[in-house]
Each structure stands twice: as structure tokens, then as C-alpha cells.
Amino acid sequence: MFKRLLFLNGLATIGLILFHSAGWGFVAMYHWRERYLPLVGAGADQPGGVAYYVLRTMEQLPVAAIPAFLFVSGLFVAFTVRQSGRVQWPVIRGRLQTLLVPYLLWSAILLLLLIAEGRMPSVARIPFMLLTGAVNPAFYYVPLICQFYLLSFWLVPLARRRPVLLLVVAALVQSAIQLGYYLSYFGVESPLLQALGSTPKWFFATRLFWFSFGIVAGFNLQLLESRLPRWRWPLAGATLLLVVAGIVEWEWIFRSSGQFWLDHRETFIDTFYALALILTVLAFYRQSSPVDRPVEELGLKSYGIYLIHSPVMGYTARAIYHLAPAVLANQFLFQPLVIVAGLGVPLLLMSAVNRTPVVQRFYKYSFG
Amino acid sequence: MDTTKQILTEYVEKEIMRRPGGVTSEDMDLLSTGILNSLSLLQLISFVERKFNRQIPVEEIVYENFHSVAAMANYLKATSPAS
């Protein structure tokens, strides 16, 4: 079952690419229409059409990606303490260094690119941006996971002694924030709910359940190994149903909100879907498929792909906006370009550094 | 250095550290130095199972058995079918 985690990580990496590619698709469909409508007129993909629902599916399937990454990380923490029972600061420090050095490197590169574009933030704002991952919209994950590694000194003893209590409390905290999101979409006026609904994505409480679940699972792997396989088909069925339910739910939220656009946030159904997907992947640990190896290979490169894909996709989308705007009108042209760039550029770069003896030793500092 | 330790050292240096000579001693703690993280640990376990033709039980995937080349080699020796 342990090896299945690499496959889960690989799936999550693919999901990340699809999610952000879909995001750019929606940007084109909702915010960039004036750029291409004069060129293509009625031939453009429309909100509510086939392309819209393809994008929605691409956006929905990967909502389990961040939960999966956090779950695997929590499980790793459990691995490091399973016999000794105590979180060791050198291990946590090593992990933080491996995360932060590439993160700071790529943040610095992106800040330089912002300067080149004439969009340099104020110097006073830069520390805040680095602490919260604001240099790039996808970078919030790094401060998030760093908080969890630091919190593991408290989470691990709880996971050992009171696992159910930990999971229940973590689920309640996370759900309270999700409730805040729901109610804010519908304009419910309440200072508390507005505060909850404004909780930034980089703050640990928004995803507390997933890392905690990973730690608890890490202490109970034998139990999972013995019990999960018999539930694999019901779990797979539940996963499929919850994907569809998640798409329907978000459509309902979006249309009921009356807003022009809503950025996707994890909902209650998404949470159950992510849980079902993670357990399904683990439950099938005795089965193998031809895609296992390539997906696992992607899983191994997940951090490097994560750091590079988002800015690359952004620049690709903007380049298409400026150079070939008619492509924006057709998602079946636009999406493959953004996906290939988002996955291909990081993989090429990582491969180039890995194969070049002079810089090979810097691979870890660049890509984790 | 015995063959098992050599194989493990070469793998860690080539595939994980990408730096020849990176493992300075067989007792070097690969976890607290940040060399092994969640992903590279999974990669290493996968390699060990393939290379040494073993299925490592999940309850034996613990820090004490995998934190250094020496620890891994001792674990493999102690749990070898021939021992």
C-alpha cells in the first residue's frame, strides 16, 4: 500500500495541471471575450456549452489533489515517528529546507519577471507575499504545508493518543470555514461567517483535516491494508457519484449566487469526494495497471512540476491572448496548448538539469 | 563496504541526491538531512523491493529501518529469507 502513495501523488500532479488549465479556460471564456469575439463571432465557445462543462469536469476531478498531497505528507510524518513516537526537529527542519529553498528560488525568479513587466510590488509587501505564497496564485501551498510540518509536534501526539478526536475536531474546523464560504456566496450577512469565509487558502485551518488524516492513516496502515480492499468497488462507485454531485453542486452555487464569476473553493461534497478518491486509490493497492509507472514517475517530480507549471501556464495563456487570440475561442485548441506547456516545460527543465553534470547537483535546490 | 550497502549508496547518490559521493557515511541520517522526503522515500522503498526482490511489510516501513544506508542494509540482512 505504501507504493500506492506515489501513484496518488502522480494523480494529484496530473490533477493540478488540469485544474489550472481549466482555470485559464474560464479566464478566456469569461474575461477575455472582447479579445476574440470580433474575430470569431458566434463560433466561440460559450458559458453553458459543451466546452464549459468539459472545463467544469477538468476543474472538478482534481479537487482531491491538494488533499492528496497533504495526506501523503501527513503519512510521511507518521512514518518518521512510528516507533519512537516523537517528532524529531532535524527531520522537520530537513523537510522545510527541501520545500523552502526551491520555493524561494522560484519566487525570486517570478518577482524578477514582475519587475521586467513593470509590475514590481512594493518592497514592504514582498515579505508578506513570500510568507503567504502570494507571488503566484498557486504558491499558497508552500506556506500551508510548512505550517503543517511545524504543527506536527502537536498533531502527532494527538493522532497517536486520540485519533478520532483529532479527526473530528479537524473536520469541524475545516467545515466551519467551508460553511463560511457557502454562506458568503449567498450574501448572508454575519461578521463571524464573513470572517470564516475570508480565511485565506494558505492558512492551515482550511485543510487541517487532510494532513491530520494522513498522520492517523500512517499510524494505522496495517488496518487500512486489511480492511480497505473489500470496499474498493463501493469506494470507486462513491467517487464517481461524488464527482458528478460536485459538478452539479458548484453549478447550483454559481447560478444561485447571482455573481458574474466565482473562483472555485472546496465544498462539502468536494471533501467527501476527495476522501473517497484517496481511499479508492489505496484500496486498489493489490492491483496494477500499465499507467502505474508513468504516473508514479510524475509523482516523483510533483514538487518541481508544481512550482513551475502555474507561471508557465500563465505566460502561455497571455502569449496566446496577444499573438493568436482566435485560439482562445476554441477550448479544444486552447486547453492542449496550455496543458502541454504546463507539464512539458517543467519536465524538460528538470530533465535538462538532471542530465547536465555541471548543474545536476543543484537539482534538489531547484525542484525539491 | 558490502554489496548491499554499495548498491543502496549508489542508488541514493545517483537517483535521489544526484551527486556522486553525496552519502558521506553509511550512518548518515538521510531523513534529518532532508535527502529523503515523502516522495524519495517511496521511490527508495520501491527500488529496494524491486532490486532485492522483497515485499516490505508496511509495519516494517519505519524510520529506524530506513533512515540511513547502514539501517537499510541491516534491515535487509536481518529479514533476508536466507537468514
Higher-pLDDT residue of A247, B18: A247
Question: Which chain B residue shows the shortest CA-CA distance from A302?
Answer: B39
| CATH superfamily assigned to domain B3-78 | ACP-like (1.10.1200.10)
Model's pTM, two decimal places? 0.93
Instruction: Please answer whether residues A335 and A46 qualify as being in contact, where contact means their C-beta atoms are separated by less than 8 angstroms.
Output: no
> Of A176, A228, A229, A185, which Cα lies nearest the Cα of A203?
A176
AA identity, residue B50: R
Indicate yes or no: CB of B18 within 8 angstroms of CB of A368: no
Question: Which chain A residue shows the shortest CA-CA distance from B35?
Answer: A94
Indicate yes or no: CB of A84 within 8 angstroms of CB of B64: yes
Average pLDDT over residues B48-52: 90
Query: In a mutagenesis test of the B interface, which of A358, A364, A366, A367 is the best target, namely the one with the most B β-carbons within 10 Å?
Result: A364
d(CA A129, CA A122): 10
d(CA A354, CA A352): 5
Q: Give me the pLDDT at residue A348, please.
A: 96
pLDDT band at B1 (very low <50, low <70, confident <90, very high): low
Instruction: Please answer whether residues B41 and A76 qualify as being in contact, where contact means their C-beta atoms are separated by less than 8 angstroms.
Output: yes
d(CA A155, CA A149): 9
**Among residues 283-312 of chain A, which lie with CB inside 8 Å of chain B?**
296, 299-300, 302-303
**Terminal-to-terminal C-alpha distance of chain A:** 24
Query: In a mutagenesis test of the A interface, which of B38, B43, B50, B58 is the best target, namely the one with the most A β-carbons within 10 Å?
Result: B38
- B81 — contact with chain A (CB < 8 Å)? no
Indicate yes or no: CB of A360 within 8 angstroms of CB of B19: yes
Q: Give me the pLDDT at residue A231, please.
A: 95
How does pLDDT run along chain A (368 residues), one tens digit per residue?
777 899 999 999 999 999 999 999 999 999 998 898 888 877 777 788 899 999 999 999 999 999 999 999 999 999 888 677 789 898 899 899 999 999 999 999 999 999 998 888 888 999 999 999 999 999 999 999 999 999 999 999 999 999 999 999 999 999 999 888 888 777 777 788 778 878 899 999 999 999 999 999 999 998 999 999 999 999 999 999 999 999 999 999 888 888 888 888 888 999 999 999 999 999 998 888 889 889 999 999 999 999 999 999 999 999 999 999 999 999 999 999 999 999 999 999 999 999 998 888 888 889 98
Question: Which chain B residue shows the shortest CA-CA distance from A360?
Answer: B18
Residue with cell 530533465: A351
- B21 — contact with chain A (CB < 8 Å)? no
Q: Give me the pLDDT at residue A346, please.
A: 96
Question: Where exactly are the structural domains of chain B?
Answer: 3-78
Q: Mean pLDDT in chain B?
A: 87
Q: Give me the pLDDT at residue B82, please.
A: 66
Chain A positions touching B34 (Cβ under 8 A) are 93-95, 97-98
- A220 — contact with chain B (CB < 8 Å)? no
AA identity, residue A33: R
Chain B positions touching A225 (Cβ under 8 A) are 58
Shortest alpha-carbon distance between residue A133 and chain B (Å): 21
Residue with cell 462507485: A237
- Compute the radius of gyration of chain B from its Cα atoms: 12
d(CA A345, CA A134): 22
Residue with cell 486547453: A335
